[in-house]
Chains A and B, each alone.
Chain A
């Protein structure tokens, strides 16, 4: 079993839809939870960052962490064609520990 599981998609939604992206994990030591966005032919870039459990909102994006269920989510409201990308979850115990990435979910928002 992988430490981090992520549905690869692809996920196709109409413009304006609410998108839900999810990851599950098995390592209870993870404390830092991140979502990266990767456009085609580009490197990943950090989109959202959360420490421990709870919610974090940034514009149309909301990240949720439920450590009791070992489950994290990224919600995108009013999705736009420019949101079309691959979204990778990532997590780490922190400090000198390495970051473990999910395999990524490819999202396409159709105008």
Chain B
């Protein structure tokens, strides 16, 4: 079974629609992250959370919001989707106490297309 799961895996939506991407993990990690990946731009951090009560903006948080419903669940919302939010979205987890500090474990990704 996958340790980090993302739903949906693919989504096509229209401009102005509200979209939620969900992430669940069974690794027991405290830290969770949302990234988007675009060709030529690499992985860019949207939001991150070090525990249930902690939410932090990343480098490109405008137009996005998140919710940490439980240690194992971290959701990303696009309140009003726009075409330049078309990208591959990844959820990741990490654990400060692990031997390889800062190693992040990624989910399989969600391909989002905004028309």
A positions within 8 Å CB-CB of B: 6, 8, 32, 34, 41-46, 49, 51, 88, 92, 94-96, 98-99, 101-104
- With A41-B109, A51-B101, A92-B102 already in contact, 13 other A-B pairs whose C-beta atoms are closer than 8 Å: A32-B101, A41-B108, A42-B108, A43-B92, A44-B43, A44-B104, A44-B106, A46-B105, A94-B102, A95-B96, A101-B42, A102-B42, A103-B40
Asked if residues B41 and A103 are in contact (CB atoms below 8 Å), the reply is yes
Does B103 reach chain A (CB closer than 8 Å)?
yes
Chain B residues with Cβ below 8 Å from A6 are 42
Chain A residues with Cβ below 8 Å from B101 are 32, 51, 92, 94-95
Asked if residues A43 and B40 are in contact (CB atoms below 8 Å), the reply is no
The prevalent SS among residues of A at the interface is loop
Chain A residues with Cβ below 8 Å from B43 are 44, 88, 101
CA distance A42 to B6 in the complex (A): 12
Cβ-closest chain B residue relative to A32: B102
Cβ-closest chain B residue relative to A97: B102
Chain B residues with Cβ below 8 Å from A8 are 40
Count B interface residues, CB 8 Å: 22
Q: In the complex, which residues 87-115 of chain B have their Cβ closer than 8 Å to any Cβ of chain A? A: 90, 92, 96, 100-109
Chain A residues with Cβ below 8 Å from B42 are 6, 88, 101-104
Tell whether A43 pairs with B90 under 8 Å between CB atoms, given A8-B40, A104-B42. Answer: yes
CA distance A24 to B102 in the complex (A): 19
CA distance A95 to B46 in the complex (A): 19
Chain A residues with Cβ below 8 Å from B104 are 44, 46, 99
Cβ-closest chain A residue relative to B106: A43
Cβ-closest chain B residue relative to A102: B42
Interface centre among A43, A49, A101, A102 (most CB of B within 10 A): A43
Interface centre among B43, B45, B58, B109 (most CB of A within 10 A): B43
Chain B residues with Cβ below 8 Å from A98 are 45, 48, 58
Min Cβ gap B95→A in Å is 13
Interface centre among A32, A95, A98 (most CB of B within 10 A): A98
